[in-house]
């Protein structure tokens, strides 16, 4: 976390009568100059920089710098046929879908939260043409048997 190290501690110098600062200050050599920065302590137990353990540096209302653990970004649900993002369906982390209402997860159409509108349209047309082909086949068969 490079940004954490480069962030400047802006708190004014404290006199001896004030309480000692809880965060330690140390010097960091950035590209051309030396800065005094506030050291940050981790908020969770795991120190590894994994995908699920990302952190951001924030400034609290009290003026201290602190790690903010950032959750993973959600991806929007995709159409099962053409893999485009589904319109009208919220992009949430998996467990968040359990807490939102059904209107956030679907649209009021056949194959609503699963297939996009264009794919449903082609499915309907295809099914209709298949049925029409069956009818045409029956008609042709009946005309052939009459002769
Ligand atoms: Zn589609």
Q: Ligand 1 center to residue 117 CA distance, Å? A: 7
Instruction: Measure CA of the first residue to CA of the last residue in the chain; give whole Å.
Output: 85
Residues lining ion ligand 1 (Cβ < 5 A) are 79, 81-82, 116, 119
Q: What are the start-end ranges of the E strands in the chain?
A: 25-29, 34-38, 54-59, 65-70
What is the predicted pLDDT for the residue at 146? 86
pLDDT(139) > 70: yes
pTM, rounded to two decimals:
0.62
Q: What is the band of 111 on the pLDDT scale with cuts at 50, 70, 90?
A: very high
What is the predicted pLDDT for the residue at 116? 96
Could you say which DSSP state residue 104 is in? G
What is the predicted pLDDT for the residue at 14? 52
What is the predicted pLDDT for the residue at 18? 53
Q: Ligand 1 center to residue 142 CA distance, Å? A: 39
Q: Ligand 1 center to residue 145 CA distance, Å? A: 43
What is the predicted pLDDT for the residue at 6? 46
Answer whether 6's CB lies under 8 Å from 39's CB: no
What is the predicted pLDDT for the residue at 9? 46
What is the predicted pLDDT for the residue at 7? 46
Q: What is the band of 23 on the pLDDT scale with cuts at 50, 70, 90?
A: low
* Tokens, residue 43: 């908020």
Q: What is the band of 108 on the pLDDT scale with cuts at 50, 70, 90?
A: very high
pLDDT(38) > 90: no
Answer whether 61's CB lies under 8 Å from 13's CB: no
Phi and psi at residue 108, in whole multiples of 5°? -80, 80
What is the predicted pLDDT for the residue at 4? 46
Q: Read off the pLDDT of residues 59-87 as tens digits, 9 standing for 90 and up.
A: 999 988 999 999 999 999 999 999 999 99
What is the predicted pLDDT for the residue at 29? 67
Q: Ligand 1 center to residue 80 CA distance, Å? A: 6
Q: Ligand 1 center to residue 122 CA distance, Å? A: 9
CA separation for the pair 5, 25 (Å, rounded): 10
CA separation for the pair 31, 12 (Å, rounded): 25
Phi and psi at residue 117, in whole multiples of 5°? -65, -40
Q: Ligand 1 center to residue 127 CA distance, Å? A: 16
pLDDT(39) > 90: no
């Amino acid at each position: 976390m490079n940004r954490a190290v480069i962030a400047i501690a802006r708190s004014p110098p404290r006199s001896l009568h004030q309480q000692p600062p809880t965060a330690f200050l140390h010097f960091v050599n950035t590209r051309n100059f030396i800065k005094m920065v506030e050291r940050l302590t981790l908020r969770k137990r795991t120190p590894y920089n994994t995908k699920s353990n990302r952190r951001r540096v924030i400034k609290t209302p009290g003026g201290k710098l602190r790690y903010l653990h950032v959750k993973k970004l959600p991806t929007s649900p995709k159409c099962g046929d053409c893999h485009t993002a589904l319109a009208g369906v919220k992009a949430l982390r998996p467990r968040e879908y359990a807490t939102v209402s059904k209107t956030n997860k679907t649209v009021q159409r056949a194959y609503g939260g699963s297939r996009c509108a264009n794919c449903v349209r082609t499915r309907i047309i295809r099914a209709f043409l298949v049925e029409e082909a069956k009818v045409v086949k029956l008609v042709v068969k009946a005309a052939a048997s009459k002769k």
